[in-house]
Structure 1
Amino acid sequence: MTPLSRRAVLGALLSSLALPLHATPPAISLRPRLRPEDVAEVPGPETLVAEAGISGISSVAVARVGAGDLLEGVAPDAALPPASVGKTLTALYALEVLGPQHRFATRVLGTGALRNGRLEGDLILVGGGDPGLDTTDLAGLAGKLKAAGLREIRGKFLFYGGALPEARLIDADQPDHVGYNPGVSALSLNYNRVHFEWARQAGKWAVTMDARTRDYRPDVTIARMQVVDRTTPVYTYADRQGRDEWTVAQGALGNGGSRWLPVRRPAAYAAEVFATMARANGIVLPVAEEARGLPAASELARHESRPLVEIAKLMLHYSNNLTAELLGLAASAKQGSRPASIRASAKAMSDWARATHGLRDVAMVDHSGLGDASRFAASDLVRMLSDPDVHERLAPLLKDIKLLDSQGRALPAPRIQVAAKTGTLNFVSGLAGYVTGPGGQDLAFAVISGDLPRRAALSRSERERPQGGRAWTARARGLQQVMVQRWGALYAQG
């Protein structure tokens, strides 16, 4: 067969998917609708995968929602890292185990009586696994304490994030400075990121590290930055005396700028910021200490998160890794005893998926897909997504995916809609979700590509921008577009 370019393939498919734009309907059809038997003349899925020119393996599968059998597939049982596509399983796990209306509570407890503005005991800030807790929320908690009449405490100021497993980072193979790989704790703040800002003033560098939101920007000392006269590496990190100690290369700074850096000690970070907010409300707290457990205490104030279903939707749209880890850990804790680690919780989630949804080979090592040791075949993803109950839960939460023409431009009026989750690691790319036809016909699909030897050859320093990575990802995303548009034309037109 003569090789076909992506442009030629898309051109054939788009003739059935795109509707011409007119102020009023044309008197006759300007573009005949392609019949399924005509679409079948376009190269089959194996040829499309081959023509995409993606090194490694591509695992491809599609089925009708409510039907168990695949309509077609290419290496559908090849187990590959799902990247953030794995968050679809995490969302389902949390929604089914915790319930869509579950809310995470951050509480302030007191171990003694509150008399005449003084707490006769310890004050404890307790995390409940809220992934969206921010500085503004802590300011609100401090305001509630002030409204309750608290002015001082006789005991200690303690913090506790141990309701869920704590970790200094999600995946040890990532570069130190990437904000998507922070520490994990039941007491988290600002997605466990600190805002680093720099400016050159009179030949010197002014540097700040703060916990900013739209309304507040308190400085912090739990993370510190030093500008060093060097060119590379851009950042170094060290864990010293309970603090995150960073250095940055002067040669990389320019005249000014900012970026978010990961926080490795989230609970201590939240406690420091809470003390600042309390001080602004006239409540002076002693230096925070970590509690190893929770004593008997009464609740003085609380902040509740938005409902879980809203958190899950935000996670699937913006792909926040910390949110995924906290949702998965909370679901595992609800299922039984507190899991020992992220990896143990991810195994519990994988076991649950096999027992509850009939998946065969899923093996996650975290809940976000950040670790490349996770495995998820396209056939398993489609088996899960094609379940009508899963479709009902997940489809409204997934992000709309634009269909592109052969020039990479958004189609103005496609005949199908695609709602899906993307996933990207270096030399791994995936898309999984739903195609909906004009008559409401729903397909569940997954396309995952991975060149694992090429990924494994990267050093940690190369993983932020590996050579050839952007071109490889572009080809993988091109395959996703071709496959989705093929399936829409062939199986979802009614």
Structure 2
Amino acid sequence: MAQTSRGDCSRRSAASWRTGLAAVVIGVALAGHPIDVGAASAPPPPPAKPVPSDSDVAAVGPSSFAFASDPRGAVALAMRPPVLAPLPPGPKPAAPRLTEAELIARAGFQPDQVGFLVHDLETGETVASHNADQAAFIPASVLKVPTAVAARAILGPGHRFRTEVRFEGTRTGPVWNGTLALVGGGDPVLESDDLRRLVATLKAAGLERLDGRFVYDDSALIGAPVIEPTQPPEHAYNPGLSALTLDFNRVRVQWRGDAVDLVKVYGTPVEGVPIRLRRDTDTAGWSRAGPALRHEFAGADARDPGGAVTERWALSPYAPRDGALWLPVKAPAPFVAAVFRAVAAEAGVVLPEPEAAEGPARGVTVAFHRSPRLDVILASGLKHSNNLLAELVGLAATRHLEGRPLALADSAARLETWLAEAMPWVDWTGFHMANHSGLSPASRASPDQLVSILRYAHDQARARGVSPFHALLPDRHFPDPESTVVAAGVRVGSLTPRVAAKSGTVYHGRGLSGIAMGRSGHRLVFAVFTSDVTARQRFDEGYLHYSGRAVSRARAQLGRARDLEHALLLTWISEH
């Protein structure tokens, strides 16, 4: 056995004592209890723990610890892990998708006041549907879509309207003896420069003066003083109808004080036109909240020092001292003939005062003008939502079908029949065209009927090898969603909607129908309507067109309807 000396034992005992004491001290210190050992016999204490500065305290928050002179706080703080900078926030969770029903409610409409249908042209599937088969909606100007589709199929996309000048009589040098007739063909986009070209042709043929009669013939269509009798007749969007039409049958009127005059626009002369204007000084029958103009037709063969008179307009005594507005022409044919006579005078051709033809004009055609192609006319009419253009196109289509002109209501009914015959698989229950433009609160349509019409137009264009119908629809531009209420809740990132569609707007009725490009690249044919039929009935019964409060409410509702359209389209486009 190995021998151990006393010195070795003594040294080992001292070392063990120190080691044990250190372990006890450390253990007690870690437990947070103070210890008292003899100053003479105690080993040196361990190094002092670092005390954090005020800046370190601030980094972890003022309420984390209490310091003062308590060493336990220092020990406890030293034992905590170091404080690290916070991690950056993660991506926000995706906002829950709002359903169509929630969007409708957010826009402030009842479920039965909204209807829509979305059809995927590529897959043939229905993407979204709500009240799609209910023909309870006011289509407004969306009704121009079925009119355009039918007219394009009946007349052809290359159809042109023809305005003629015919002459019956004898020509003796520059003087022609007989009857010169201006014959309207229902051209909806005829301009004064077109009349100038007709005059230039006549002058090139030798005409300088007509001895005889100058007549106008508008028998190709059945005319009317207004498009829609229930709408204000003084509004420029409600002009008269005629086979002779110029500048969309409206003129510019301007007044300063009591002087009321027509203004030359579009290059159309106004000297000699059979329209008279005056400011009324008698307040009887006028209202500050009523229309600014009042119309009346002159009697038969009415004349004044300025010549023949066909219509008179009175300006309200409550109208501002100075102002200007567009005036609808209620008797278009004599107006166009008077302008033709004026542009002839510009070219040095003397014509007598125009008069109405007793029947269809006879004689040989000595000049003619052809309109642009129907597709060009339709694209312009759909973009600018021109009521007169839509009515004349519809009337021309039914005249082609029947071989004779029809009155406006009969013509609209005939197009209804044609649509039903062309698309017998569609449920046409409730569909009604009061006219061809949608300028009537009585018209009705369903989302399914409009989508079916657009699908038919798409298939027909493909079968005939002509440009697609949606190429005629105007591009639809939407406001920044952040500036809206309902659409702002639909998150689509940087997606920009690509939509070509026809909108429709009347007080308490709003619609939009066309084609949209989905995120997948699929084409989505859609129709969405918002109608408050009860409110519209009250509006019409009270004739509230000049009630500031009623109009303000109706406009606010239209704003919410547009917002809802935007939100729905963003939803469909982003998800399909």
Normalised TM-score (structure 2): 0.74
Question: Are residues 1:83 and 2:140 paired?
Answer: yes
Mapping for residues 90-489 of structure 1, pairs under 5 Å: 90-200=147-257, 205-210=258-263, 212-229=264-281, 230=283, 232=287, 233=290, 234-241=292-299, 243-254=310-321, 256-358=322-424, 359-361=426-428, 362-387=431-456, 388-389=458-459, 393-408=468-483, 414-459=495-540, 462-463=544-545, 466-489=551-574
Deviates more, 1:402-411 or 1:71-80: 402-411
**What is residue 47 of structure 1 aligned with on the other side?**
102
Letter paired with 1:470: R
Q: Percentage identity across aligned positions?
A: 33
CA shift for structure 1 position 220: 4.4
> Larger relative contact order (C-alpha < 8 A, sep ≥ 6)?
1
Decide whether the 8 Å contact of 1:64 with 1:386 is kept in 2: no
Deviates more, 1:222-231 or 1:101-110: 222-231
Decide whether the 8 Å contact of 1:135 with 1:213 is kept in 2: no
Change (3 A) 1:273 1:390: same
Structure 1 runs of 4+ aligned residues shifted over 4 Å read: 66-69, 409-413
Work out the CA distance in 1 between the residues paired with 2:504 and 2:91: 35
**What is residue 26 of structure 2 aligned with on the other side?**
none
Q: Secondary structure at the match of 2:483?
A: coil
| Structure 1: gaps of 5 or more residues | 1-29
**What is residue 4 of structure 2 aligned with on the other side?**
none
Letter paired with 2:338: E
Work out the CA distance in 2 between the residues paired with 1:347 and 1:413: 45
Work out the CA distance in 2 between the residues paired with 1:66 and 1:355: 26
Deviates more, 1:316-325 or 1:362-371: 362-371
Letter paired with 1:71: V
Decide whether the 8 Å contact of 1:198 with 1:206 is kept in 2: yes
Normalised TM-score (structure 1): 0.85
Work out the CA distance in 1 between the residues paired with 2:564 and 2:205: 59
Change (3 A) 1:294 1:471: same
Decide whether the 8 Å contact of 1:68 with 1:386 is kept in 2: no
Work out the CA distance in 2 between the residues paired with 1:454 and 1:439: 39
Deviates more, 1:284-293 or 1:404-413: 404-413
| Structure 2: gaps of 5 or more residues | 1-89, 301-309, 462-466
CA shift for structure 1 position 295: 4.1
Work out the CA distance in 2 between the residues paired with 1:165 and 1:431: 31
Deviates more, 1:288-297 or 1:342-351: 288-297
Change (3 A) 1:220 1:70: farther
Change (3 A) 1:136 1:413: farther
Work out the CA distance in 1 between the residues paired with 2:454 and 2:523: 11
Letter paired with 1:380: Q
Decide whether the 8 Å contact of 2:192 with 2:266 is kept in 1: no
Decide whether the 8 Å contact of 1:168 with 1:264 is kept in 2: yes
Bigger Rg over Cα: 2
Q: Secondary structure at the match of 1:128?
A: coil
Change (3 A) 1:220 1:258: farther
Letter paired with 1:159: Y
Q: Secondary structure at the match of 2:539?
A: coil
CA shift for structure 1 position 412: 10
Work out the CA distance in 2 between the residues paired with 1:454 and 1:461: 12
Change (3 A) 1:226 1:357: same
Q: Secondary structure at the match of 2:566?
A: helix
Work out the CA distance in 2 between the residues paired with 1:138 and 1:213: 15
Work out the CA distance in 1 between the residues paired with 2:246 and 2:481: 43
Work out the CA distance in 2 between the residues paired with 1:487 and 1:78: 21
* Root mean square deviation, CA, Å: 2.5
Decide whether the 8 Å contact of 2:519 with 2:575 is kept in 1: no
Change (3 A) 1:365 1:357: same
Change (3 A) 1:436 1:170: same
Change (3 A) 1:220 1:413: farther
CA shift for structure 1 position 249: 1.6
Decide whether the 8 Å contact of 2:181 with 2:215 is kept in 1: yes
Q: Secondary structure at the match of 1:109?
A: strand
Change (3 A) 1:476 1:31: farther
Letter paired with 1:206: A
CA shift for structure 1 position 263: 0.8
**What is residue 71 of structure 1 aligned with on the other side?**
127
Deviates more, 1:386-395 or 1:179-188: 386-395
CA shift for structure 1 position 439: 4.9
CA shift for structure 1 position 133: 0.8
